[in-house]
Amino acid sequence: MAEYKDFNTELIHGGIYGDKYTKAVNVPIYQTSTYEQEGIGEEVKWEYSRTGNPTRAALEALIAELESGTDGFAFGSGMAALTAVLSLFKTDDRIIISKNVYGGTFRLLDKVFDHFGIKYSIEDTTDTDTLDKKIAPDVKAILVETPANPLLTITDLDAVSAVAKKHGLLFIVDNTFMTPYIQRPLEHGADIVVHSATKYLGGHSDVVAGLVAVKDKELAEKIAFIQNSSGGVLGPFDSFLLVRSIKTLSVRLDRHVENAEKIAEFLSNHKAVKKVYYPGLKDAQGYEINKKQAKNGGAMISFELYENYDIKKFFKSLKLVALAESLGGVESLVCHPASMTHASIPYEIRQKVGITDGLIRLSVGIESADDILNDLKNAISESEVK
Ligand SMILES: *Cc1c(COP(=O)(O)O)cnc(C)c1O
């Protein structure tokens, strides 16, 4: 792997660059399931595309490099990536997850890994002193999102990493909301970084994919073994699309974030808005910690309207911003976590962790900030109950 000083250059030239046979500047789509072998028992670099495919390998080398890791792995979705990572654990192992993790991650542990006796506990990972006291002998890993979905809560990566090291636990970070352009958890003591590459890394709402990066060869071997054994790999075409998308990651994110900062400011000054959650606002929970470990506050904003605004009407009144699951695409999307992304979390738990029925989550796109602002302004005023 080549070393480049500047991340912007790494995005374009990192991993495996071009094709050595044709000198094509892009890694081709190796749309093949198998590879001819020289003779039986002879060592082969490529044997079967579940085990390895050159287009996927280019993406895997790229994410490893961007996350400051040694090895990367590409999967058919973020959930497939998380499934592979959680397959490292055994019956009676316990995993601590932060409050407000992605609903699908909670469901995977609660309804699938539960069958195999792998347990989980939900803890407030923003409070590392208490977290430290919660580490029982059966705890084997801590899994966090920072910012966490959907309240954009910030967890101190260095502090949790210290707790994990002290107790010999694996520290797993879902870095979907930030991407390595904004935050690189392996540099803050994480052992494993997971991505739903469906979001900012893909960036155009046209690919479903998952990525994993690690910085330890032994751990890499285990994950490679699981990836090949369970087989949830990403296909060559989608791997190609992701390499292509990642080239513009920093350009896209600069605009995403610039727009998000304007919109967060606008929402915090609007009389209809009860609360804004955005880690880039100075009065946000974890603002200083986020500043220490991330380049900026990202481009996800959540907010709550006062009770005299009809939230159903708000969603119906939006003309530019689409109501949809997912995030991180060039187009602005809005969602209602309580009934959409976090519906798989029981009502009582949702209330406990602050995912109220009035909460709105906005994925700020790269359209004109003024157009997004006007759309929000109109929808808010349409939804006022008079
Ligand atoms: C979307 C998402 C996932 C799941 O990824 P898929 O690609 O949809 O399978 C996991 N974690 C976070 C934070 C997400 O936003």
DSSP E strands, 146-251 = 170-174, 192-196, 210-214
Summarize pLDDT for 154-213 with one digit per residue, the tens.
999 999 999 999 999 999 999 999 999 999 999 999 999 999 999 999 999 999 999 999
220 and 260 part of one domain: no
**Can you tell me whether residue 273 is helix, strand or coil?**
strand
Atom number in ligand 1 closest to CA 326:
1
Q: What percentage of the chain carries pLDDT values higher than 70?
A: 99
CB 195 within 8 A of CB 249: no
CB 172 within 8 A of CB 190: yes
CA angle at residue 341 from 336 to 347, to 5 degrees?
80
From residue 152, alpha-carbon distances to 121, 196, 261, 372 in Å are 20, 16, 14, 20
297 and 221 part of one domain: no
222 and 136 part of one domain: yes
Number of domains present in the structure of the chain:
2
- Residue 47 domain-assigned (yes or no): yes
Summarize pLDDT for 365-374 with one digit per residue, the tens.
999 999 999 9
Whether omega before 150 lies within 30 degrees of 0, making that bond cis, reads: yes
pLDDT value at position 284?
95
Chosen domain end from 184, 219, 246? 246
Chosen domain end from 229, 246, 263? 246
346 and 254 part of one domain: yes
Is residue 306's pLDDT more than 70?
yes
**Domain containing residue 186: CATH number:** 3.40.640.10
From residue 272, alpha-carbon distances to 150, 262, 321, 377 in Å are 20, 17, 18, 10
Q: Report the pLDDT averaged over residues 332-339.
A: 93
Summarize pLDDT for 21-34 with one digit per residue, the tens.
899 999 999 999 99
**Domain containing residue 345: CATH number:** 3.90.1150.10
3-class SS letters over 329-384: CCCCEEECCCCCCCCCCCHHHHHHHCCCCCEEEEECCCCCHHHHHHHHHHHHHHCE
- Residue 1 domain-assigned (yes or no): no
Going by CA atoms, what residue is nearest to atom 8 of ligand 1?
A: 78
| 213 vs 339, residue with greater confidence | 213
Q: How far is the CA of 80 from the centre of ligand 1 (A)?
A: 10
Is residue 279's pLDDT more than 60?
yes
282 and 326 part of one domain: yes
112 and 242 part of one domain: yes
Atom number in ligand 1 closest to CA 197:
7
Tell me which residue range forms the domain holding 300: 250-383
DSSP E strands, the chain = 71-75, 94-98, 119-123, 139-145, 170-174, 192-196, 210-214, 273-277, 300-305, 322-323, 333-335, 359-363
- Residue 2 domain-assigned (yes or no): no
**Can you tell me whether residue 190 is helix, strand or coil?**
coil
Q: Report the pLDDT averaged over residues 259-279.
A: 97
Is residue 14's pLDDT more than 60?
yes
Of residues 75, 76, 88, the one with CA closest to residue 171 = 88
Question: With a 6 A CB cut-off, is 196 part of the ligand 1 pocket?
Answer: yes
Of residues 295, 313, 297, the one with CA closest to residue 305 = 313
CB 333 within 8 A of CB 365: yes
Chosen domain end from 246, 275, 299? 246
Summarize pLDDT for 208-253 with one digit per residue, the tens.
999 999 999 999 999 999 999 999 999 999 999 999 999 999 999 9
Between the CA atoms of 172, 178, 179 and 183, what dihedral angle is there, to the nearest 10 degrees?
-70
Question: With a 6 A CB cut-off, is 195 part of the ligand 1 pocket?
Answer: no
pLDDT value at position 3?
55
List active site positions.
50, 102, 174, 199
Q: What percentage of the chain carries pLDDT values higher than 90?
A: 87
Is residue 1's pLDDT more than 50?
no
Number of residues in the chain: 386
Is residue 4's pLDDT more than 70?
no
Question: With a 6 A CB cut-off, is 145 part of the ligand 1 pocket?
Answer: yes
Summarize pLDDT for 105-155 with one digit per residue, the tens.
999 999 999 999 999 999 999 999 999 999 999 999 999 999 998 899 999
Give the confidence band of 349 by pLDDT, cuts at 50, 70, 90.
confident
